[in-house]
């Protein structure tokens, strides 16, 4: 295998996963240490650590302090999340969907995001804020940063009629995604957008997508109070 000079955690994760699935490392076998893997892949140990954490979350390996990392003997079942468009979710409830573009700016990638995506701070991104409505009631606030380097056509894309998620699915489909959920209390800005009061409980989802190891977008989606999530196993 040819090792790149600057390899990211997705590449390490995918190669370790490939070796597990092809039985290079069979079930129950002990993996090399993080230090050994970092030397092989010519990357930081923190990069290996993140890759292994994701594989542990996905049920491929089990990590035990002082005893190392082993390939799991039995596969784990995981919930399946469907990344539906806001329009599809609204219409599935027999409600009338409406979309509104609130803000659109081209800017340098914020420092917190450049660190998260592992891109230079000067990377240009398209920052979009938009609202999705169900029967004219706030359904979802979408705030999104799109990497112009990965998707150059987005800089001049018309996002006034359709949301950025829908545009990206057609123009730059992703092959990898990372999703996180959290419960939040609405601040004054969120309360105004979502038509509720400050302090109201809401579910917020953060989603990062990649195409061939290049980050496409980071999205922060805040749903109306009472929104629930359904998964399949």
**What is the 3-state secondary structure of 204-230?**
EEEEEEEECCEEEEEEEEEECCCCCCC
Query: What average pLDDT does the chain have?
Result: 88
Mean pLDDT of 207-212: 88
pTM of the predicted model over 0.95: no
pLDDT of residue 6: 61
34 pLDDT above the threshold of 50: yes
Q: Is the dihedral of CA 23, 26, 30, 34 positive or negative?
A: positive
53 pLDDT above the threshold of 50: yes
Q: Which of 88, 190, 214, 174 is nearest to 138 (CA)?
A: 190
Q: Where are the domains of the chain?
A: 9-71, 86-223
Question: In sequence order, what are the beta bridge partners of 126?
Answer: 106, 146
- Tell me the per-residue pLDDT of 133-189, one tens digit each, with 9 for 90 and over: 999 999 999 999 999 999 999 999 999 999 999 999 888 888 788 889 999 999 999
Backbone angles phi, psi at 207, to 5 degrees: -135, 130
Mean pLDDT of 184-209: 94
Start-to-end C-alpha separation, the chain: 34
- Tell me the per-residue pLDDT of 88-141, one tens digit each, with 9 for 90 and over: 889 988 999 999 999 999 999 999 999 888 899 899 999 999 999 999 999 999
pLDDT of residue 1: 45
76 pLDDT above the threshold of 90: no
pLDDT of residue 3: 44
Find out if CATH 3.40.1410.10 is the number for domain 86-223.
Answer: yes
- Identify the CATH assignment for 9-71 out of 1.10.10.10, 3.40.50.2000, 3.30.365.10, 1.10.8.350: 1.10.10.10
Kindly state the percentage of the chain with pLDDT values over 90.
59
């Amino acid at each position: 295998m040819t090792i790149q000079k600057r390899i990211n955690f997705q590449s390490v994760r995918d190669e370790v996963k490939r070796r597990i699935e092809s039985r290079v490392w069979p079930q129950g076998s002990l993996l090399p240490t993080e230090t050994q893997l970092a030397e092989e892949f010519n990357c930081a140990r923190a990069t290996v650590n993140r890759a292994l954490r994701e594989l542990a979350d996905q049920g491929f390996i089990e990590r035990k302090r002082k005893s190392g990392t082993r390939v799991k003997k039995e596969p784990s079942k995981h919930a399946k999340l469907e990344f539906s468009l806001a329009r599809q979710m609204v219409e599935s409830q027999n409600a009338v969907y409406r979309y509104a573009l609130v803000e659109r700016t081209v800017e340098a990638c914020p420092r917190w995001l450049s660190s998260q995506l592992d891109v230079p701070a000067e990377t240009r991104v398209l920052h979009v804020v938009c609202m999705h409505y169900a029967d004219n009631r706030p359904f979802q606030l979408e705030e999104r940063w799109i990497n112009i380097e990965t998707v150059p056509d987005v800089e001049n894309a018309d996002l006034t009629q359709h949301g950025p998620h829908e545009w990206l699915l057609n123009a730059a489909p992703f092959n990898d995604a990372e999703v996180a959920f959290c419960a939040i209390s609405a601040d004054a800005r969120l309360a105004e957008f979502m038509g509720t009061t400050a302090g109201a409980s809401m579910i917020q989802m953060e989603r990062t997508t990649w195409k061939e190891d290049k980050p496409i977008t980071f999205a922060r989606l805040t749903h109306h109070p009472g929104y629930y999530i359904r998964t399949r196993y």
